[in-house]
């Protein structure tokens, strides 16, 4: 057995990393991150963001996105290019109501059984039936019921749409559109659990480039290359170990010692400091279609009043958040002067700090003395959510809003959002598909029960979002997008703060990092030459 710098792991209170004798350090990537997956099943209730990364590497999808080289020489996925994965080819009918996929015949699941159209049918039926995140994700592409999915034959799979939707194909390239080994999953299902939700939460039934070796929630997840994978070039790394190290200082020490290869989702201050050192590769990407924001529960007092929400927007200490929390990294989403357009989304709001006007609006809303409230944050993203919350707490006190900060463990955060009982929250929302109407479908649409964390509903905004999803005329599309952004920014159920940067630090031998819309590591491109 080979242990990777046991003394260093013990120093930080971690179990030593153990790999088999067949492994070498050059074939093993050690990733440290603040929080790991709470599930191996992305369809499961409350699956967190690291669970998206596990799903991405364990499972295949029909299609994926291509890649491109950015002006700075780094690599990113390309949302304009859909490429084959399990599907070798596909056709879209002239009326845009049918998508027919032809599956590769050499794809197998991790247990060696073949991937068939019947597996896709069961997997997609599951996604639209279990409710919550996967069901709403599929709905974003007008994929709404099992009747829309058909196994034409063993290697032909068809999707039928109730209406043309330009997001349908991109949705099938997202992490939720996975192919599950239906025979294996069914063997673990019960009458009470027909979709094998309990078993798949902790087990692997995929055909992806990596298979699950071990999962210790709260500690580590171990992946191993699937040698029979056929849906892309053979990955360079034989094994990947993702270790959960909550302390940013411990993460940095492990990287500097050479005991960790990658720090994923690096805090802004640490990214700034590592960039100055020059010893490591720092991959920094502005996260598309994303924002840190303060959310306000819009369907209950006091935040059901627009003037109260506007008062909060006027009290936020935007400049302090940008300088002392984001460290100048990211894009400010306040103080805007230009009208919103699809081309510049996310665009800055017109709001800026004005405490005098904030007090006036609060009094006009019937709260001249202010009120008390709670401000929740995700403890697994305490940097930056906690310093944001503290600055907001201090600023709101100046207009009479007395806030108690509530820290919710990361494993419970998604469930807390789904309960819809948090009056205020600090959160980071990013839309996977890089279209403003996609973000608004998830974040503002009144029928969305998942990421409309503010319980906000405006019928005119909903109608504009729906129209933009199906629009073919560019001028009309631009008007619709500008319309729903303007409504959201005037009524401020969420107060945008800034568009974040995703920072990833890599030891110099590690190459091949590529930014992805889901903001998780894709092990397939990484190598240690």
The mean pLDDT value of the chain amounts to: 92
pLDDT value, residue 88: 97
Are 383 and 453 within one domain? yes
Tell me: the pLDDT tens digits for 398-438?
999 999 999 999 889 988 998 999 999 999 998 888 899 98
Instruction: Specify the number of domains making up the chain.
Output: 3
User: Where in the sequence is the domain holding 102, given as residue range(s)?
Assistant: 77-183
Q: What angle (nearest 5°) sits at the alpha carbon of residue 45, between those of residues 42 and 50?
A: 45
Bridge partner residues of 32 (DSSP)? 243, 263
pLDDT band with cut points at 50, 70 and 90 for residue 74 = confident
Checking DSSP bridges between strand 514-515 and strand 75-84, what pairing results, if any? parallel
Contact 525, 513 (CB under 8 A): yes
Q: Which band of pLDDT confidence, cut at 50, 70 and 90, is reported for residue 3?
A: very low
Those residues whose C-beta lies under 8 Å from the C-beta of residue 460, and which sit 6 or more positions away, are 483, 487
Check whether residue 351 and residue 372 sit in a common domain.
yes
Residues 273, 296 share a domain: no
Shared-domain flag, residues 480 and 357: yes
The dihedrals phi and psi of 329, each to the nearest 5 degrees, come to -95, 135
| Same-domain check for residues 45 and 92 | no
Residue 14 predicted with pLDDT over 80: no
Q: What's the CA gap between 396 and 414, in Å, rounded?
A: 26
- Domain of 161, CATH number, reads 3.90.76.10
What three-state secondary structure class fits 438? helix
Pairwise CA distance, residues 495 & 508, whole Å: 39
6-10, 91-95, 132-136: least confidently modelled range: 6-10
Using CA atoms, how far residue 109 sits from 65, 85, 190, in Å, is 21, 14, 22
Mean pLDDT of 49-61: 95
The pLDDT of residue 1 is above 50: no
Using one digit for the tens of pLDDT, what is the confidence trace for 453-484? Answer: 999 999 999 999 999 988 889 999 999 999 99
420's CB contacts (< 8 A; 6+ apart) are 297, 453, 455
The answer on pLDDT for 6 being more than 50 is: no
| Residue 340 and residue 313 in one domain | yes
Residue 11 has pLDDT above 70, yes or no: no
What value does the mean pLDDT take over residues 136-140? Answer: 87
Per the domain annotation, does 159 fall within a domain? yes
Confidence (pLDDT) at 292: 97
Dump pLDDT digits (tens) for 496-527: 999 999 999 999 889 999 999 999 999 999 99
Asked whether residue 72 is domain-assigned, the answer is no
**Per the domain annotation, does 156 fall within a domain?**
yes
Could you tell me if residue 97 is inside a domain? yes
- pLDDT given at position 344: 87
pLDDT band at 449 (very low <50, low <70, confident <90, very high): low
Side-chain-side CA neighbours of residue 79 (13 Å) = 16
Exposure of 74 by Cβ count < 10 A (0-12 exposed, 13-18 middle, 19+ buried)?
A: middle
448, pLDDT greater than 90 = no
- Examine the domain organization and report whether 339 and 457 are in the same domain: yes
pLDDT the model gives residue 99: 98
Same-domain pairing of 81 and 162 = yes
Domain-located, residue 71: no
CB atoms within 10 A of CB 522: 21
The Cα–Cα gap between 495 and 456 comes to 13
pLDDT band at 16; cut points 50, 70, 90: low
Query: Do residues 381 and 487 share a domain?
Result: yes
Starting at the edge strand found earlier in the chain, the sheet holding 494-499 runs 331-332, 494-499, 290-296, 424-430, 371-378, 401-408
300-356 pLDDT, tens digit each: 999 999 999 999 999 999 999 999 999 988 999 999 999 898 888 999 999 999 999
51, 145, 158 from 506: Cα distances, Å: 21, 43, 41
Rg (CA), the chain: 23
Residue 64 lies in a domain: no
Could you tell me if residue 196 is inside a domain? no
Position 312 in a domain? yes
Let me know whether 27 and 98 are in one domain.
no
| CA-closest candidate to residue 158, choices 92, 94, 81, 65 | 92
**For 256-306, what is each residue's pLDDT tens digit?**
999 999 998 888 889 988 888 888 999 999 999 999 999 999 999 999 999
> Which of 119, 150, 183 is the C-terminal boundary of a domain?
183
């Amino acid at each position: 057995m080979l242990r990777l710098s046991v003394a260093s792991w013990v120093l930080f209170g971690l179990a030593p990393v153990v790999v088999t004798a067949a492994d070498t350090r050059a074939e093993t990537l050690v990733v440290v991150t603040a929080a790991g997956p709470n599930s191996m099943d992305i369809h499961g209730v409350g699956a967190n963001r690291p669970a998206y990364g596990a799903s991405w590497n364990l499972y295949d999808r029909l299609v994926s996105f291509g890649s491109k080289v950015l002006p700075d020489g780094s690599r990113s996925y390309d949302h304009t290019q859909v490429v084959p994965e399990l599907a070798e080819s596909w056709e879209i009918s002239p009326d845009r109501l049918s998508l027919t996929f032809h599956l590769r015949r050499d794809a197998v699941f991790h247990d060696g059984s073949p991937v068939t159209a019947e597996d896709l049918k069961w997997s997609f039926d599951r996604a639209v039936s279990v409710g919550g995140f996967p069901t709403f994700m599929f709905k974003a592409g007008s994929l709404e019921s099992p009747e829309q999915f058909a196994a034409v034959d063993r290697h032909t799979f068809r999707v039928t749409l109730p209406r043309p939707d330009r997001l349908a194909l991109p949705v099938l390239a997202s992490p939720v559109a996975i192919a599950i080994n239906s025979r294996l999953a069914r063997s673990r299902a019960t009458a009470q659990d027909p979709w094998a939700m309990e078993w798949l939460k902790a087990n692997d039934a995929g055909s992806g480039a990596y298979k699950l070796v071990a999962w210790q929630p709260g500690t580590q997840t171990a992946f191993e290359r699937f040698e029979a994978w056929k849906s892309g070039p053979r990955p360079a790394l034989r094994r990947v170990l993702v270790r959960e190290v909550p302390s940013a200082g411990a993460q940095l020490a492990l990287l500097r010692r050479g005991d960790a290869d990658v720090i994923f989702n690096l805090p802004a201050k640490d990214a700034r400091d590592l960039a100055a050192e020059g010893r490591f590769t720092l991959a920094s990407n502005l996260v598309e279609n994303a924002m840190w924001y303060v959310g306000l529960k819009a369907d209950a007092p006091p935040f059901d009043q627009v003037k109260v929400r506007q008062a909060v927007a006027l009290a936020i200490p935007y400049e302090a958040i940008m300088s002392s929390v984001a460290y100048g990294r990211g894009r400010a989403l306040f103080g805007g002067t230009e009208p919103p357009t699809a081309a510049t989304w996310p665009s800055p709001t017109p709001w800026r700090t004005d405490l005098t006007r904030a007090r006036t609006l609060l009094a006009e809303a019937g709260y001249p003395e202010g009120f008390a409230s709670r401000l929740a944050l995700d403890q697994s993203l305490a940097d930056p959510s906690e310093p944001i919350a503290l600055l907001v707490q201090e600023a709101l006190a100046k207009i009479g809003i007395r806030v108690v900060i509530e820290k919710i463990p990361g494993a419970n955060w998604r469930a807390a959002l789904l309960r819809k009982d948090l009056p205020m929250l600090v959160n980071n929302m990013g839309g996977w598909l890089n279209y403003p109407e996609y973000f608004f479908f998830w974040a503002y649409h009144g029928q969305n029960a998942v990421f409309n964390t503010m319980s906000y509903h405006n019928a005119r905004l909903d109608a504009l979002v729906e129209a933009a999803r199906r629009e073919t005329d560019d001028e009309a599309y631009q008007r619709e997008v500008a319309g729903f952004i303007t409504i959201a920014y005037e009524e401020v159920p969420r107060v945008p703060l800034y568009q974040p940067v995703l920072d990833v630090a890599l030891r110099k031998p590690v190459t091949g990092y590529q930014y992805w819309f889901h903001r998780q590591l894709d092990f397939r491109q990484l190598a240690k030459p």
